[in-house]
Structure 1
């Protein structure tokens, strides 16, 4: 298996639960993180090695990433596993899967590349690289089938992990937050490059929010390897004393908050599953942004908006993601709690319907599909 970054590690860990239940003697190895390690996964490299987003950022790490892929490919060809499962990270995994499939190793890709959102030209590479795709969104198998790619909808694993009715009071007790407080969760991303481009903007926005609403409390979940960086940037922004920076616990923070200021990515779907209003933001290297925006096929970037096919929550991208604009958008949600509660309720209802649609027995469905591939 190969899983890149925090979200892939979480998804792969949930898959491994199903695998080990079906095949108690299973051994797994490759690239992964702490969630996979808890299930006995042998990580030859840590998943954060692949946690790079954006064309320019990837170029800076290109030689190291390609070197890892070549070493991994050779080890897998030598050991010839029964099956290879690439979890997301399509830029890394699809080329690796193509090489393995070409040598007779069965390959599965979990999480369909977003050909419906951008880079539709990638479909030919998917067909060449994989025997089967495990899809987390219900409309994807038919889209892939139209291009001759076998696929199965398995639901989104996080929809089973996150309760349909999150316990906000319990989450606040766990974080030492008062029940009556207004709480903003700040999630500037899980990659070093995201922290570089977003954290200062988010912290400057927090300062502006606090100026308008002095009683607001802020909680900032950080992955362990980036916590010190986030603390330093909060110090530089002059707001460290007003932030509760915690290690991990992003789900607890999302359950506890009234609204979240959040980097575009998988975490936005997690926020939607927690039924939380949010402000989605992204900023990246200028050249990477120019390339990516030309490949975009839909008006939305945030997963909740894409899946609802509507701007349910605001998106502030690149030059729009100023501290002033971010703060104003968050304050609109805070003020809506008293002035327009129906607006909050409407968002919660949209996200509850989405949660129900994505809720499936993912690990069993994925394991069933993989068993059929092994037996074919």
Structure 2
């Protein structure tokens, strides 16, 4: 298996939970994160080595990433696993899967690349790379079937991990927050490049929000490997006394908050499943932005908006993601209880649509691939 970032680590850990009872003696190896390792996975390289996003950022690290992929391919071809499972990270995994499949190793790709949102031409790569695709959104298998790709809908793993109704008071107590004061969650991303481009904007927005509402509490979950970077950026912002950084614990933070300012990505779906109003933001290298923007197929970037087929939450991207604009859009949710209630109702329906026994469905599909 290869899971190239924190969200993939979570997906893979749930998949492992389904595989272990059925294949108790299976050796699980490759590249993974802490949740996979806790389940007995052996990671040959640190997951953080692959957690790079954006064209320019990838180019800067291309030699290292390509070198890891070459070494991994050679080792897998020597050891000849019964199955390779690529967990998301399509830029890394699809080429690797195609090379392995071309030599006769069965392959599964977990999470259909967003060909319905951008880079529709990637379907050719998927067809060459994967014996089977595990899809987390219900409309994807039919889309892939039209292109001759075997696929099955397994539900979204997060829909089963996150409760339909989170205990906000308990989460606040667990985090040491005042239960009677509003909480704003700041989630600037799980990649170093995201932190670099977004953290200062988020911390600046928090400063403006604190001026407008001194009673607000701010908490930012940061993956442990980025703690030092986040602390340095927070110190430079002058907000170290007002924003609490916590290692990981993003689910507790989302359960505790009233509203979140959040980087576009899987975390926005987590926020939606926690029924939290949000402002989605993104900023990246300017050249990367223009290249990606040109390939966008839908008017939305955030997963909640894509899945609801509407701008149910604001998106402030690239130059629009100024601290002032982010602060104003975030505070607006705190003044609109009826709007929040309507959003929570829509997110509850989305949650129900995504709930399936993902671990079992993944194991069923994988067993069929192994028996083919």
Q: Normalization by structure 2: what TM-score? A: 0.99
Structure 1 residue 232 displacement after superposition? 1.1
Count residues in correspondence.
372
CA distance in 1, matches of 2:310, 2:33: 34
Runs of 4+ displaced beyond 3 Å? none
Q: Which residue of 1 aligns with 2:116?
A: 116
Which residue is equivalent to 1:343? Answer: 339
Deviations 1:320-357 (A, max 9, x none): 00001000000101122xxxx21111010110000000
What is the DSSP-based 3-state SS (H/G/I as helix, E as strand, rest coil) of the residue aligned with 2:241?
helix
Distance in 2 between residues matched to 1:6 and 1:189, nearest whole Å:
10
Q: How does 1:134-283 map to 2 (within 5 A)?
A: 134-283=134-283
Q: 1:355 aligns with which of 324, 330, 351?
A: 351
- Output aligned runs, 1:275-354, within 5 Å: 275-336=275-336, 341-354=337-350
SS in 2 for 1:181: coil
CA deviation vs aligned residue, 1:278-307 (integer Å, no higher than 9, x gap)? 000000000000000000000000000000
- Structure 1 residues 56-104: Cα deviation after superposition (integer angstroms, max 9, x where no partner): 0000000000000000001000011110000000000000000000000
CA distance in 1, matches of 2:81, 2:358: 23
Give the distance between the partners of 1:202 and 1:334, measured in 2 at CA.
17
| TM value normalised by structure 1 | 0.98
Q: Report the Cα offset of residue 312 of structure 1.
A: 0.5
5+ residue gaps, structure 2: none
Q: Deviation of residue 48 (structure 1)?
A: 1.1
| Unpaired stretches in structure 1, ≥5 consecutive residues | none
Give secondary structure in 1 for the equivalent of 2:99: helix
Aligned partner of 1:373 in structure 2 is: 369
Secondary structure in 1 aligned to 2:141?
A: helix
Determine the C-alpha separation between the residues in 2 that align with 1:10 and 1:108. Answer: 17
How far has the Cα of 1:244 moved from its partner?
Answer: 1.1
Superposed, which structure 2 residues align to 1:5-154 within 5 Å? 5-154=5-154
**Separation in 1, partners of 2:39, 2:339:** 42
